[in-house]
Chain A
Amino acid sequence: MIDRTVLKEHLVKWVLVAFALSSLLFLFLIFIFILAEGLPLFLKVGVNKIIFGMKWAPTKGYFGIFPMIISSFLVTIGALIIGAPLGLSCAIYLSEYAGKRTKMLLKPAIELLAGIPSVVFGFLGVIYIVPLVRSYLGGSGFSLISTSLVLGVMILPTIISISFDALVSVPRTYREGSAAMGATKWQTIYKVIIPSAKSGILASFILGMGRAIGETMAVIMIAGNALKIPTSILDPLRTLTGNIALELAYATGDHRLGLFSTGVVLMVIIMILNYVANFGIKRKIAK
């Protein structure tokens, strides 16, 4: 009798362990798979010619993805320029000014924003942003600025919720201490609360960047996908993710491997961003 309950306990435990480890296993397998497919081309063509190559013509043996790396960075920075101030302001409002009822209304709205499929963002971008840019700023409208605008909105939920958590976890004693020194509410916010939540806020920006650089669907729809480094905010561009999604369906042979190499570069960039973000958050907790 006792033996059976003990056995059951053990069984449950090991099943749970197996499930928990399986997610690690999937991550590991994905990693191995992408590396296995993506690395051979690096060895064959040369790291330099891929990462710093200017020309992407995989059927003719050119695998340069430098324009796409730059484009990915540009849209990411653009998204951050739009999303960071907006998201941080929103987080500050939510944590410091909003009443309970506003908070209860806004938090779920922001979570909903995170849940909207990216194709919908892309669709709205094509219908509204692209024509707007075309008629007021010129160009085709499929451009760096349109993409940045849409991505800026898409990364808002990430920035808001993580910054918000960082802001509300600033101890009450700091706020009281500052108020008791005669600081106004805004002085307390920008001189004490924001600096105290600094690492969490930075982490939110970095995770937002991770989200922007990895975004695919909306980007393909709005970016124009031209294979060159944009020279103005009105130029079209193609990102790393866009490149994979656009061509994978018909790519074969080395072309296919070239797309995997694109994936390897993307993965490394995202891993670096996540590492930096986690490092920032950990340092904050250690304090």
Chain B
Amino acid sequence: MDTFALRTNKLNLYYGDFHALKDVDFQVYSRAITALIGPSGCGKSTLLRCFNRMNDLQDDVRIEGEIYVHDERLEDIDIINLRKKVGMVFQRPNPFPFTVYENMVYGLKVHGMGHRRAWREIVDRCLHSVGLLDELKDKLHTPALELSEEIKQRLCVARLLTVEPEIILLDEPCSALDPIATMRIEELMIELKERYTILIVTHNMQQAARVSDYTGFMLLGDLVEFGETSQIFTSPRDERTEGYITGRYG
């Protein structure tokens, strides 16, 4: 059975001596939005970054337990293909200091995908997917750093889509954005879930409630509760979850 795009089994992660993830059993359903919520420092980003092995960039990280991408063990997938399959959008929009076009074809170049002549079409299609085609069609050769924060963040999503990922990880993608831009990014996520599996970290509970189908609540490295978003927000089983969503922990 392959309903889970991502799955962990007794996942433990240590930063040196610090035990950041404790026996986490977590699932991400295919073609749905799963949200991870919890107070600051509970390990949301850490868990998210396990799925594309971004923690590997740091030394002194030790991981135990199993992670599966569909039914394949994470260690069995080579890291380049893993990161192609599992894309990531960061907290602060991070387009490269190049033109919009250069940003968009970066992944294609890196993975040697498609013919140079076909790139323009891919770029247009992916910009269209994030609702930027009209906006940027004539600005493909302007520097990406001159765009507004929201457009930059959308561009970062579009940049991912060029390499045809299956799963998109988003780490607080709206925290640098104003409320209107946030709303638009949320709409974008809902559109994208038709074709992609989405895992989003957020400390904004309303956001989790608005966009996600499933929600996991984390506290101090534990995945306290996981279930359908409606259930988590209306009838949480664990009192700590209830405490958090009713606002008892900041």
Using CB atoms and an 8 Å cutoff, list the residues of chain A in contact with chain B: 171, 173-184, 187, 191-192, 195-196, 287
Residue of A nearest to B78 (CB): A182
Q: In the assembled complex, how far is the CB of residue B162 from the closest CB belonging to chain A, in whole angstroms? A: 9
Give Cα A192–Cα B107 distance, bound, in whole angstroms: 12
**B106 & A180 in contact (Cβ 8 Å cutoff):** no
* Given contact pairs A180-B54, A192-B96, a sample of 16 additional A-B residue pairs in the complex whose CB atoms are under 8 Å apart: A176-B54, A177-B95, A179-B83, A181-B83, A181-B84, A181-B163, A182-B81, A182-B82, A182-B107, A184-B110, A187-B110, A191-B106, A195-B96, A195-B98, A287-B97, A287-B145
Q: In the assembled complex, how far is the CB of residue A285 from the closest CB belonging to chain B, in whole angstroms? A: 13
B193 surroundings in chain A (CB, below 8 A): none
B160 surroundings in chain A (CB, below 8 A): 181
Mark the stretch among B19-27, B63-71, B85-93 that contacts chain A.
B85-93
Residue of B nearest to A173 (CB): B94
Q: Does B1 have its Cβ within 8 Å of any Cβ on chain A?
A: no
Give Cα A174–Cα B57 distance, bound, in whole angstroms: 13
Q: Does B61 have its Cβ within 8 Å of any Cβ on chain A?
A: no
**B54 & A196 in contact (Cβ 8 Å cutoff):** no
Indicate the member of B97, B145, B159, B163 with the most A CB atoms within 10 Å.
Answer: B97
B interface residues, how many (CB within 8 angstroms): 28
B57 surroundings in chain A (CB, below 8 A): 175-176, 179
Contact of A177 among B80, B82, B94 (CB under 8 A): B94
Q: Does B52 have its Cβ within 8 Å of any Cβ on chain A?
A: yes
Contact of A183 among B88, B90, B94, B110 (CB under 8 A): B110
**A181 & B97 in contact (Cβ 8 Å cutoff):** no
B90 surroundings in chain A (CB, below 8 A): 173, 176-177, 180
Contact of A174 among B81, B96, B159 (CB under 8 A): B96
B123 surroundings in chain A (CB, below 8 A): none
Contact of B96 among A180, A182, A196, A287 (CB under 8 A): A196
**A184 & B80 in contact (Cβ 8 Å cutoff):** yes
Residue of B nearest to A197 (CB): B97
Residue of B nearest to A188 (CB): B110
A-B contact pairs, 10 of them (CB 8 A): A177-B96, A177-B156, A180-B52, A181-B163, A182-B79, A182-B83, A182-B107, A187-B110, A191-B106, A191-B109
Q: Does B111 have its Cβ within 8 Å of any Cβ on chain A?
A: yes
A183 surroundings in chain B (CB, below 8 A): 106, 110
Indicate the member of A178, A179, A181 with the most B CB atoms within 10 Å.
Answer: A181
Indicate the member of B87, B90, B98, B106 with the most A CB atoms within 10 Å.
Answer: B106
Give Cα A179–Cα B94 distance, bound, in whole angstroms: 12
Dominant SS among interface residues on chain B: helix
**A182 & B84 in contact (Cβ 8 Å cutoff):** yes
B95 surroundings in chain A (CB, below 8 A): 177
Given A174-B94, A174-B96, the answer on whether A179 and B54 have CB atoms closer than 8 Å is yes
Give Cα A195–Cα B109 distance, bound, in whole angstroms: 15
Given A177-B90, A179-B54, A180-B54, the answer on whether A196 and B97 have CB atoms closer than 8 Å is yes
Residue of A nearest to B162 (CB): A181
Q: In the assembled complex, how far is the CB of residue B42 from the closest CB belonging to chain A, in whole angstroms? A: 21
The 5 closest A-B pairs by CB, nearest first: A182-B83, A173-B94, A180-B88, A177-B94, A182-B84
Q: In the assembled complex, how far is the CB of residue B50 from the closest CB belonging to chain A, in whole angstroms? A: 13
Contact of B92 among A173, A179, A196, A287 (CB under 8 A): A173
Give Cα A176–Cα B94 distance, bound, in whole angstroms: 9
Contact of A182 among B80, B92, B94 (CB under 8 A): B80
Give Cα A191–Cα B105 distance, bound, in whole angstroms: 12
Give Cα A192–Cα B109 distance, bound, in whole angstroms: 12
Give Cα A179–Cα B107 distance, bound, in whole angstroms: 10
Q: In the assembled complex, how far is the CB of residue A280 from the closest CB belonging to chain B, in whole angstroms? A: 15
A176 surroundings in chain B (CB, below 8 A): 54, 57, 90, 94
Q: In the assembled complex, how far is the CB of residue B173 from the closest CB belonging to chain A, in whole angstroms? A: 13
Q: In the assembled complex, how far is the CB of residue A111 from the closest CB belonging to chain B, in whole angstroms? A: 26
Given A176-B57, A176-B90, the answer on whether A182 and B97 have CB atoms closer than 8 Å is no
**A182 & B163 in contact (Cβ 8 Å cutoff):** yes
B106 surroundings in chain A (CB, below 8 A): 178, 181, 183, 191-192
Give Cα A184–Cα B54 distance, bound, in whole angstroms: 13
Q: In the assembled complex, how far is the CB of residue A26 from the closest CB belonging to chain B, in whole angstroms? A: 39
Q: How would residues 98 to 119 of chain B score, 1 for a CB under 8 Å from any chain A CB and 0 otherwise?
A: 1000000011011100000000
Give Cα A177–Cα B155 distance, bound, in whole angstroms: 12
A187 surroundings in chain B (CB, below 8 A): 110
**A181 & B107 in contact (Cβ 8 Å cutoff):** yes
Residue of B nearest to A184 (CB): B80
Given A180-B54, A181-B160, the answer on whether A191 and B94 have CB atoms closer than 8 Å is no
Residue of A nearest to B81 (CB): A182
Contact of A178 among B79, B82, B96 (CB under 8 A): B96
A182 surroundings in chain B (CB, below 8 A): 79-84, 107, 110-111, 163
